[in-house]
Amino acid sequence: MQSSLSRRISHIRDHPALRVFMLVWFSQLVSVFGSGLTSFTLGLWVYQQTGSVTAFSLMALAATLPRILLSPLAGVVADRFDRRLVMAVSDAGAGLSTLVVALLMATGRLEIWHLYVATLWSAAFSSFQWPAYSAATVQLVPKEQLGRVNGLVSIGRGASEVLAPALAGLLIGVIGVVGVILIDVVTFLFAVAVLLMVRFPRPTTDGPEPTGTVQASKPNSLLQDATFGWRYVLSRPGLLWLLVFVAIFNLVWSMVGALATPLVLGFAGAAELGLFITIAGSGMLIGSLVMSAWGGPKPRILGVIGFELLSGLCFILMGMEPALWRLGLGAFGAHFTIAVIEGSNKSIWQSKIPEDIQGRVFAAWQMISLSMAPIALLSAGPLADRVFEPLMRSASTVQNLPVLSTLVGAGPGRGVGLMFVLMGVIKIIVSIAGWMNRHVRDVERSA
C-alpha cells in the first residue's frame, strides 16, 4: 500500500494545474518570508531612530488603509484580468517600494516619512494580490484539496512569524540592514519570475448562482462591478451570516494582537516577551502543517465555529492570573487554531462561489476583515487604560469582587488580563450563536 506521502505526490503528478499551484505557492512562500525579514528589520530601524510606539501604529495604519479602500477595485481587477498577471504586477510593485527603501538607506537618505509612503505604496499593490491569489487557487486545485492547500498557504505566515525575526537578527550583523532588505527584493523577483513562467487555466462558472437577486455575469459599469461582491453576499444568507460572525471574531483577534505585548510586559520582561512571540508563532506554524496534512474537519464549518470556540478558551487561559506556562500554552493553542479556522473558512467560500466572480467576492470579504483592525487599534488602548486597568488596580475591586481578583489577579497589567478573559467569553458565546444559526450551520449545503 502506498504511503500517504506517495499518494499525494502521485496526485500532484496526475494534475498539471496542481503542479502549477505548488510552484506558485513555493514562490509566494519565499516572498512572504522575505517580507517578514524586511518587516522585522525596518521595525527595528524605526524604533532605534524614534523610540516611539506611535511610529509603529502609523506604520500599521499605512499598511492597512490602502487594502481596505482599494478592495472593491482589486476584486474587479482580479475577475477582469489574468489573475496570474495581477499577482505578478502586485509582487513587482511591492518589490519596487522595497528596492527604493534599500537605495535610500544605502545612501543615508532614508527618513521616517519615506517608510510611510513606501508602506502605503506596497499595501496598495498587496490589496490586489490577495483576491487574485485566493481566486486563482480554485482554478488550480481540486475542491476536495482546498483545505490542505489553504493550510500550505498559512505555512508562509507561520514561518515568517517564527523564523524571520531570528534570521533577520543574525543577518543584520553579517550583511547589514540594507543587505537584509535586498534579500526581500530578490524574493519578490523570484515570485514574479515564477508567475511569468506558468499559465493558469481559464476560470469556469460551474458554481451555483443566487436566485432572484444577482446574476453572476459581469455588470457593465465599473461601479456595478465594484459593488457586485457585496450584492452577491447579501443575496446569500449563509455567506452573509458567516461573514458577520467571522467579522466579530476578527475584531476580537485584532484586539488581542494590540494587547498581547502589554499583557506579557505587565508581569514579565523583554526576554519573556520574545519567548511568548516564538511560542505563538510556533503554534501558527504547527497548525498550518497539521492543516496541510489533514485538510480540516468535515463539514468545514466545524473548523470555523469549533476552533473559534477553542481559541476563546485559550484567550481565557492567557488572561488568568499570571503564569508563564499558562500564557505560553494559551498562546500556542490560540495560534494553532488560526490555520484551521482560516483554511476551513476560505475553503467554504472557494467551494461555493463560481470561479469567475471570486475576485470580487473575496475583495468584499477582505474589506470587512481588514476594517476590524483599525477599530480594534482605536478602542483597545483606551479601554485598557481608562476602564479595565483602573478597575483591577482599585482596592475596592479586590474587596468587593474577590472571585474576579482571584481569577485574573490584581495590580498593573491585570486589567488587560481581564480583557483577555472577557474576549474569550465573547468568542465562546459568538461561536455557540453561530452554530445555532441555521444559515451558518448549513452554509455548505445551502449557500
CATH of the domain at 119: 1.20.1250.20
* Residue 214 lies inside a defined structural domain of this protein: no
Look up cell 469549533; give the residue: 306
- Tell whether 187 and 53 lie within a shared domain: yes
What pLDDT was estimated at residue 307?
Answer: 97
d(CA 69, CA 368): 10
pLDDT value of position 327: 94
Q: Are residues 129 and 242 in the same domain?
A: no
What is the model's pTM?
0.83
246 and 99 together in one domain: no
What is the Cα–Cα distance from 57 to 377, expressed in whole angstroms?
A: 8
**pLDDT at position 427, please?**
97
pLDDT at position 218, please?
A: 45
- Residue 110 and residue 165 in one domain: yes
What confidence score (pLDDT) does residue 75 get? 93
pLDDT along the chain (447 residues), means of 10: 46 70 94 89 76 65 88 92 96 96 94 92 93 92 87 83 80 90 96 95 60 45 84 93 94 88 82 82 92 92 97 96 92 95 94 91 88 84 87 75 81 89 96 96 84
| Cβ–Cβ under 8 Å, residues 421 and 404 | no
Let me know whether 176 and 311 are in one domain.
no
- 143 in any annotated domain: yes
pLDDT for the residue 39: 84
Q: Which of 183, 198, 213 is the last residue of a domain?
A: 198
Are 4 and 124 found together in one domain? yes
Residue that is last in its domain, among 182, 198, 214 = 198
One domain for residues 171 and 80: yes
Q: For residue 347, is it within any domain?
A: yes
The pLDDT of residue 217 is 45
Same domain? 148 vs 13 = yes
Final residue of a structural domain among 155, 182, 198: 198
pLDDT at 157: 78
Residue 175, domain member (yes or no): yes
Are 239 and 124 within one domain? no
193 & 342 share domain:
no
In this structure, the answer to whether residues 316 and 445 fall within a common structural domain is: yes
Are residues 25 and 141 in contact, defined by beta-carbon separation less than 8 angstroms?
A: no
Secondary structure of the chain in HEC code, one letter for each residue? CCCHHHHHHHHHHHCHHHHHHHHHHHHHHHHHHHHHHHHHHHHHHHHHHHCCHHHHHHHHHHHHHHHHHCHHHHHHHHHHCCHHHHHHHHHHHHHHHHHHHHHHHHCCCCCHHHHHHHHHHHHHHHHHHHHHHHHHHHHHCCHHHHHHHHHHHHHHHHHHHHHHHHHHHHHHHHHHHHHHHHHHHHHHHHHHHHHHHCCCCCCCCCCCCCCCCCCCCCCCCHHHHHHHHHHHHHCCHHHHHHHHHHHHHHHHHHHHHHHHHHHHHCCCCHHHHHHHHHHHHHHHHHHHHHHHHHCCCCCCHHHHHHHHHHHHHHHHHHHCCCCHHHHHHHHHHHHHHHHHHHHHHHHHHHHHCCHHHHHHHHHHHHHHHHCHHHHHHHHHHHHHHHHHHHHHHCHHHHHHCHHHHHHHCCCCCHHHHHHHHHHHHHHHHHHHHHHHCHHHHCHHHHC
Number of domains in the chain: 2
User: Residue 222: inside a domain, yes or no?
Assistant: no
In a domain, 339, yes or no: yes
Query: 444: domain CATH number?
Result: 1.20.1250
pLDDT at position 56 is 61
Contact call for residues 104 and 97 (beta carbons, < 8 A):
no
Assigned domain for 217 exists: no
Residue 39 belongs to what domain range?
1-198
